[in-house]
Structure 1
Amino acid sequence: MEGQRSHLGALLAAGSLFTRLPFWRLRELRQEDYEDALSWWPVVGLITGGVLAGSFYLYSQIFPTEVALVLALASRLFLTGAFHEDGLGDFFDGFGGGRTKEQILAIMKDSHVGSYAVLAFVLYYLIYWSSAVSIPGDILPFVLLSCDVAGKCCSYMQVQHLPYARRTEECKVGVVYRRAGLLPMSLAVLVLIATQAVAYFPLSLFVEQGYVWLSFALPLVTSLGLISYIRRRIGGYTGDTCGAICLLSELAMLLGYTIYAQMNSLY
């Protein structure tokens, strides 16, 4: 029974950390629950990705695809409080402006937004938007959901492979994530497989199967490359690197689906 309560607490903590939804009101959450929260991040992706996909579908009934996508992204930003985007900006500021581990960590902890972060935000959403609108609108909601979940699964991998880069008392959010147990890891895999299937089967009705491997290979290569780079530069992960890998892997998968759709349209 204690194990069940621990898993429930970690799941609620994940929802409280990674969205603005007040899951913490449902029960008293312990420090240990927050430390295990990242293990349930892919499951929370069903909420954030579901809001992104669902709001796009609703907005697309009223607005053109281009406008509906912007409004859907704004809806997800409101849900998450731009939590992951904060990590993306700090990541580019830190690794772009710092040379040593100490400099990188200090810059990432600074609350000011630098030029690297601004450029990262602009380029990220330009690439995201232009890629997404090139995918048929009827299947885009499924793709958006699958990319959101996949990004969280890829980011989740770095905690399994890297130690925490700072001293515990220097953690910005007061939580050092722990490696996942068997249950959350198994659920993460199931959620990933299910959401990829949901995206793949509608897309396969529009295009041939020849380039589908790109949508899986690109986020995996991106996340593994970033994990290797982060290990080399600062020796471990931070909350900011979690947010950065999440969004960049999500973008990589979206680019994979875009290439998949575009290349098949040539034949």
Structure 2
Amino acid sequence: MMPRAELLKDVIADLRMAASFVTILPVASSKPAGDGAIARATWALPVAGLLVGLAGALVYKVASRLGLTPNLAALLALAATALITGALHEDGLADTADGLGGGRTRERKLEIMRDSRIGTYGVCALILSFGLRWSALATIANPWAVTLALCAAQIAARAGVPAFMSLVPPARPDGLSASAGPPPGRSVAIAFALGTLALALALGPGKALVGLILLSLAGVLLARLAIRQIGGQTGDILGAFEQLGEILILLVAAAFQIGR
């Protein structure tokens, strides 16, 4: 059995590694990124998501205290989450939309996804993503309820990423997703448990179940589409999956008006 001190050191290293991938915070792990370390650290992605959610919630709270409307406060909160993540997942969503929406061959689709320029499909995807999330937060309005919704969405959206990586093969032999490798079952299980717990605490058991079903359906549909068109997943596909998760959980939260 691993000594507690060593176990704690590994946990902290995994948390720092996850935070360094999800955010722009200067918390890079001292653990080497090779030998499956990135894949093992994926269990901590939901924890990193909590940081993002809290940042957005704090901005929303301050904006509300300053007398700004829910619409403006929601827009500022989303800007904060995009800023702290470096718009990483939004970039993945845009590239995925451009790649899967354009190009006739697998090679051309992958080439489009690697292109740093954004196309019409990508612009439309970003408008829909920000618009739906903004509308959902503005509908919730109550600062405490927004905090619950944001944190649940940020956590749960990342909780399914390890499972997606494990079940869907990489589309190409190079790239971050391929080099990271499939996460071990333990990391997948811990991430899933953290996401489920976050949904249950924020939305309640029944609504959490709705959220889990929607996330699962979105994951299956995206996986089928990615496998059919480009042969598997890439880092951009994972970013798109995270964005879909955020949207769905915030819509569920808005529909059920949590916290009121």
Q: Would you say same fold, with TM above 0.5?
A: yes
User: Secondary structure at 2:232's aligned position in 1?
Assistant: coil
The CA deviation at 1:187 is 3.0
> Could you report, residue by residue, the CA deviation over 1:3-34 in whole angstroms, capped at 9, with x for unpaired residues?
7355543332221111111112x635333333
Q: Does the alignment pair 1:15 with 2:25?
A: no
Q: In the alignment, what sits opposite 1:120?
A: 125
> Could you report, residue by residue, the CA deviation over 1:192-225 in whole angstroms, capped at 9, with x for unpaired residues?
1332133125xx9xxxx6x664333222211221
Partner Cα separation in structure 1 for residue 164 and residue 103 of structure 2? 21
Partner Cα separation in structure 2 for residue 217 and residue 253 of structure 1? 11
The CA deviation at 1:131 is 2.0
User: Secondary structure at 1:27's aligned position in 2?
Assistant: coil
Q: In the alignment, what sits opposite 1:141?
A: 147
> Could you report, residue by residue, the CA deviation over 1:75-98 in whole angstroms, capped at 9, with x for unpaired residues?
111111111111011000100112
User: Secondary structure at 2:109's aligned position in 1?
Assistant: helix
Query: Which residue of the other structure, out of 214, 227, 231, is the alignment partner of 1:231?
Result: 227
Counterpart contact for 2:162–2:187, Cα < 8 Å = no
Query: Which residue of the other structure, out of 46, 52, 61, is the alignment partner of 2:65?
Result: 61
* TM-score normalised by length of structure 2: 0.86
The CA deviation at 1:99 is 2.2
User: Secondary structure at 2:140's aligned position in 1?
Assistant: coil
Q: In the alignment, what sits opposite 2:47?
A: 43
For 1:1-267, what aligned pairs fall within 5 Å after superposition? 1=2, 4=7, 5-24=9-28, 27=30, 29-32=32-35, 33-62=37-66, 63-137=68-142, 138-168=144-174, 171=175, 173=176, 176-201=179-204, 213-261=209-257
What are structure 2's unaligned runs of at least 5 residues?
A: none
> Could you report, residue by residue, the CA deviation over 1:51-110 in whole angstroms, capped at 9, with x for unpaired residues?
122322232221221111111111111111111111011000100112221111110001
- In 2 relative to 1, CA 129–220 (structure 1 residues): closer, same or farther, beyond 3 Å? same
- In 2 relative to 1, CA 216–190 (structure 1 residues): closer, same or farther, beyond 3 Å? closer
What are structure 1's unaligned runs of at least 5 residues?
A: none
Range with bigger deviation, 154-163 or 33-42: 33-42
Give 2:240's aligned amino acid. Answer: A
Partner Cα separation in structure 2 for residue 28 and residue 159 of structure 1? 21
Counterpart contact for 2:22–2:85, Cα < 8 Å = yes
